[in-house]
Structure formats: structure tokens, C-alpha cells
Amino acid sequence: MNGLKAFERALESEDGMSLETRRELCYCAMCCSAAFGDVESAKMYLREMQACGLDFETAIADPTMMRMESSALMKNQLKKFAAGEGKSFGTVQREQYERDKANAAPTPATSVSGLRDLEISSDTDESVEAIVKRVGILIVLSAVGFVALFKGGMGIMEPGSLPFEEIY
């Protein structure tokens, strides 16, 4: 862990560091992160290492550089990421969403923007006035239903109407 911290401190200092030194520091920090099993941190250093011009395969094969001691799974993940194959879960989801959106049939224009995603049968009026009318009818029916149920419940609950009720 101290080695990784030392590499990170060296990477943070910008005083006259050559590009070659920065590449090797990024590679060493990537190797340390991979050894600890921190794939995200290792990918971050790999990305920076590649931006500095050091290829992953070249760095792994170079005997003068630090050996990468990590699991085969970690090495394969980094190799795929370096080749551009490894994608994060969020990237995969975004690409799937964009593909689905592009393949979807265009929806007919509606007068209310919130209804674009709803499937409405062809005989249903989509105008604002028709929607307001339907909502108004629903509110009136709900109020009438509430009053009827309330009065019915109060009629059942009158004193002495239940057989198990005792009068004190």
C-alpha cells in the first residue's frame, strides 16, 4: 500500500517530470491497484498511461518495467479495457437505451407533451378538453361513491344494529 501511495504522490507532483517518467509511474500505480484487486483504480491508471503513450501490451512485455502480479481475471479485464472492449455497466445500459430508442417506431404527435409515451387507442380523444372532461367525471364519480359508502357504513354502525354490541 505504501508503494501505491508513493506512486500517487509522485504523479501529483508536476515539477519537471518527463513524459516517459509519467508513463512508468502510471504503469506502476496500475500494477499496484491490480495487485490489490481494485479494478476501477487500475483502469483509471491504465487510461492515463495510454494517454501518455504507453501501450498496455508493450508495458507488460517489457522486462525492464515492474512485473504485474495479479490474478488472471484482473489481467484479462485490463487487457480487454486497453483494447477498448471492456465497458462499464452504465455505458452498456446507455448504449442499449440509445439502440432501443433508435429502433422504436415514431409515435404520433399529441397535444399534451406528457402523453407521448402512453399507448392510447385510436378512438380515444387526446385533446386537453377531453382529458379534463374525463378527469372531472372521475372526480365526481369518486365523490358520489365516497358519500354512498360513508352513508351505508354509518347506517350499519347505528347503535343497536349489530348483534354483538352491548349497550351500556
* pTM of this prediction exceeds 0.75: no
pLDDT 10s digits, 108-137: 555 555 656 666 666 777 788 989 999 999
What is d(CA 100, CA 95) in angstroms, rounded to the nearest whole number?
A: 9
What is d(CA 52, CA 17) in angstroms, rounded to the nearest whole number?
A: 12
Supply the pLDDT for residue 163: 60
What is d(CA 67, CA 109) in angstroms, rounded to the nearest whole number?
A: 61
pLDDT 10s digits, 40-97: 888 888 888 888 888 888 888 888 888 888 888 888 888 888 777 666 666 667 778 8
